[in-house]
């Protein structure tokens, strides 16, 4: 079952008392299924949201499913009871072999959202409130640290939920606030049905961070975009050894309209200053270049990037033809954003290390 993206205007027309809310975590959506085979042995399997079986990559998590059930949840990496970033989770995804060392370094965790079946009983036609109560009881019986339930977000009015969504660390998410993408809003009486029924489940993501960056490199896209330069590397200003310089901080290939794609492609072709195989370097000087407004979901420290920072889900939200590159943001802006998030997380964790 999938959710519709929500805006505040969608929710204020609804009765808040008819809904429950839970945190939306920054992992991958999965279904964990355990049942008895023809030999009477309990067999557990894990599936992605597209139906692909990914059991072989997560044997440590399957070992936690010691009761017959079907659980809808989020696959995460947990270290010392803390949810890790999606970038950490990626170290476990699509691995051809899983070693004991890998499992110890990147321990898999299932944060449960919903219950589809328990034993031989299909419970999808029951209300969400009922399914959640049974899910909590099931997890208690499993009694395994690798499986827990996504906590509810307390609210009585949409204004209270808006405040919680804006500041998860102060609304119960605590030290894991950085791993929260937003909230899921679900009707108490909703059955679990296929597809994306409107009004039953809503996903309300946190507002993205936004900066102005300068286009530095472009590469042709794939499929329908193979004739256009649609993959963009962008940077922000920083003080270098020889003065002000642009430092790459991310790549994006969506967020713009088809009309904007044509304009950017034309700019790339007319302003190429160098080529590196399929990549074109475009002019990016203080008085000449293209400024992109970039929206993104979060930041984290990274030793793989020259900037020392990695973005989560960057996308082009606007073309700033009106803005000279010299007025784009600086690396210090991103560092301040990240530091503020780290301090908020530290405060929510009682002042401990982040």
- Report the catalytic residues: 24
Question: What would the two tokens of residue 198 be?
Answer: 């409107």
CA distance 292 to 213: 5
DSSP states of 132-143: HHHHHHHHHHH-
Strands 315-320, 309-312: pairing is unpaired
Closest CA to 127 of 199, 72, 200, 30: 200
In the chain the first and final C-alpha atoms are separated, in Å, by: 34
Closest CA to 112 of 141, 80, 87, 146: 146
Supply the DSSP symbol for 150: P
Angle, alpha carbons 28-29-31 (nearest 5°): 130
Question: What would the two tokens of residue 234 be?
Answer: 């962008």
DSSP states of 65-119: --SSEEEEEEEEEEETTEEPPHHHHTTTTT-S---HHHHHHS-EEEEEEEEEEET
Closest CA to 3 of 200, 205, 206, 191: 200
Helix (H, G, I), strand (E, B) or coil at 34: strand
DSSP states of 197-257: -TTTEEEEEPPPEEEEEEEEEEEE-SGGGTTSEEEEEEEEEEEETTEEEEEEEEEE--SS-
């Amino acid at each position: 079952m999938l959710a519709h993206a929500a805006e505040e205007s969608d929710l204020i027309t609804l009765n808040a008392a008819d809904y429950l809310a839970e945190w939306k975590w920054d992992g991958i959506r999965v279904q964990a299924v355990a049942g008895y085979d023809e030999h009477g042995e309990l067999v557990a399997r894990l599936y992605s949201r597209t139906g692909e079986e990914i059991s072989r990559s997560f044997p440590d998590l399957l070992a936690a499913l010691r009761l017959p059930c079907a659980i809808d949840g989020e696959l995460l990496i947990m270290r010392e009871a803390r949810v890790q970033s999606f970038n950490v989770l990626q170290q476990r995804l699509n691995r051809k072999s899983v070693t004991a060392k890998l499992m110890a370094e990147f321990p898999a965790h299932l944060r449960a959202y919903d219950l589809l079946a328990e034993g031989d009983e299909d419970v999808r036609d029951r209300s969400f409130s009922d399914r959640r109560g049974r899910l909590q009881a099931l997890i208690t019986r499993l009694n395994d640290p690798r499986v827990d339930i996504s906590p509810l977000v307390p609210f009585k009015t949409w204004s209270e939920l808006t405040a919680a969504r804006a500041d998860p660390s102060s609304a119960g998410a605590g030290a894991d606030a950085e791993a929260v993408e937003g909230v899921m809003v679900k009707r108490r009486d909703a059955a679990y049905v296929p597809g994306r029924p409107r009004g039953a489940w809503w996903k309300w993501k946190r507002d993205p961070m936004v900066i102005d960056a300068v286009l530095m490199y472009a590469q042709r896209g794939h499929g329908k975009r193979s004739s256009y330069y649609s993959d963009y590397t962008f940077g922000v200003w920083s003080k270098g050894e020889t003065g002000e310089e642009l430092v790459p901080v991310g790549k994006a290939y969506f967020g713009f309209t088809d009309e904007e794609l044509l304009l950017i492609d034309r700019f790339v072709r007319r302003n190429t200053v160098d080529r590196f195989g399929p990549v074109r370097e475009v002019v990016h000087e203080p008085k000449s270049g293209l400024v992109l407004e970039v929206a993104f979901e979060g930041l984290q420290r990274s030793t793989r990037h020259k900037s020392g920072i990695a973005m989560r889900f960057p996308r082009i939200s606007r073309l700033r033809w009106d803005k000279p590159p010299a007025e784009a943001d600086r690396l210090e802006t991103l560092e301040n954003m990240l530091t503020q998030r780290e301090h908020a997380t530290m405060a929510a964790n009682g002042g401990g290390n982040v």
